[in-house]
Structure 1
């Protein structure tokens, strides 16, 4: 079982990282893989109710890799923690299969109450660098979380969210809608932060206001056009 885990994990790194030139490179030089090995040992101790030993092993893994995974967290197969430094995975977090996390991702809790308080991540999810997924929420299969997004609400399957707070972006205009690997959680083609849309809308409104001001006649009254309602005047 341990050999199968290691083989699948190394293959996942080679498949998703062009810099992974050989299985030996991944085995020796990838802290994300090392963190998973430490977690498997710590989780086994946690399941045996050897809580202090489990925490000590997890603490050692954190010291060696810069990646903090609570020994109680449940992690599926072929998780890739890319770069890895600063990743935090909380106690009641659950991660499905074929998930990809970048550096400084936090799967955190928003409650001090005991019980389920961390996110549940579905299969084939990508979470971009610096993203924070907080609370007892579910991220559906094939979802994409953009870099530095702050996710406080559930994300439906197949949805891409970006921004603070995270909001969905429209992917319907993209030529390829099937699940694929999107580096850092956001497709590079044609999908921008929805805040950019808001900025463009504000620019349009500002242009309209400037045009109305330009139509003000010399005695200080604004000219009007039918159907435009209230206009600017003195």
Structure 2
């Protein structure tokens, strides 16, 4: 299993990169693993024929596997053209230069973008609208690396040459710009870690992802209620009174 290490503040933080998926894996076995991942993670999958004909995520991965071979053989234009056809058919863009592991499932898939230098481990689940992109125009490694058993929620953006540890869950709609350790949950914009459970996450338990925005709103409401209580008490204790003109004149004479 891939490991990440983070040293104390007294030392320089060092991240052990996940090993890149082997490029020598048998193509058919890899496609079979992608196929089996759908039945393992999607309860609505009923038959192999339905998966082959109605799952754009699987179709995009299938075409990517072929385009990636051409890219390795330095037929770059042909690889990009094959990738372009897949994008036109599935609305999913996977650069043929990206390195993807086995057992990957792109659910729904609409709007998914995976950049050229992205690396994805095994058994990764990606939902619609996800971007694994870069943050600049620099050459070399500029896209994220995802470990094994990672889940990336709908609409999430993971940007830059960062590392996402094994069994980590990226919440829907979040924007992750920094590396994340194993077994974490990341939510928000910018993304921040809100849970370090140390346990493998359930890929279908999206309703259990913490909502830090809702928590902050709840905290503010409680604070406002606490501040209003003393004011209510003082309003009850205050008793209005009136002074007539004769009483005011007597007071002035004494003064």
Compute the TM-score of the two structures, normalised by the length of structure 2.
Answer: 0.78
After TM superposition, which residue ranges in structure 1, 4 or more long, deviate above 6 angstroms?
A: none
Contact 1:108 1:135 in 2 (8 A): yes
1:198 pairs with one of 202, 212, 216: 216
Please list, as runs of the form range in 1=range in 2, the aligned pairs for 1:14-163 lying within 5 A after superposition: 14-163=39-188
Given candidates 202, 217, 240, the residue that maps to 1:181 is 202
Deviations along 1:82-116, whole A, 9 cap, x unmatched? 00010000111100000000000000110111111
Structure 2, unpaired ranges of 5+: 1-25, 240-255
SS at match of 2:207: coil
Distance, in Å, in 2 between the alignment partners of 1:142 and 1:169 is 14
Give the aligned CA root-mean-square deviation in angstroms: 1.8
- Inter-CA distance 102–131: structure 2 relative to 1 (3 Å threshold): same
Tell me the distance in 1 between the aligned counterparts of 2:227 and 2:217: 15
Which ranges of structure 1 fall in alignment gaps of 5 or more residues? 220-234
Q: Secondary structure at the match of 1:169?
A: strand
Post-superposition offset of 1:215: 4.2
**Aligned residue in 2 for 1:227:** none
Aligned to 1:229: none
Larger Rg over CA atoms: 2
Instruction: Return the alpha-carbon distance in structure 2 between the equivalents of residues 18 and 2 of structure 1.
Output: 26
Cα displacement (A) at 1:208: 2.0
Deviation at 1:47, TM superposition (A): 0.9
SS at match of 1:161: strand
Corresponding pairs, count: 212
Structure ranking higher on relative contact order (CA contacts 8 Å, 6+ apart): 2
Q: Is the 8 A contact 1:11 1:23 kept in 2?
A: no
Normalising by structure 1, we get a TM-score of 0.85
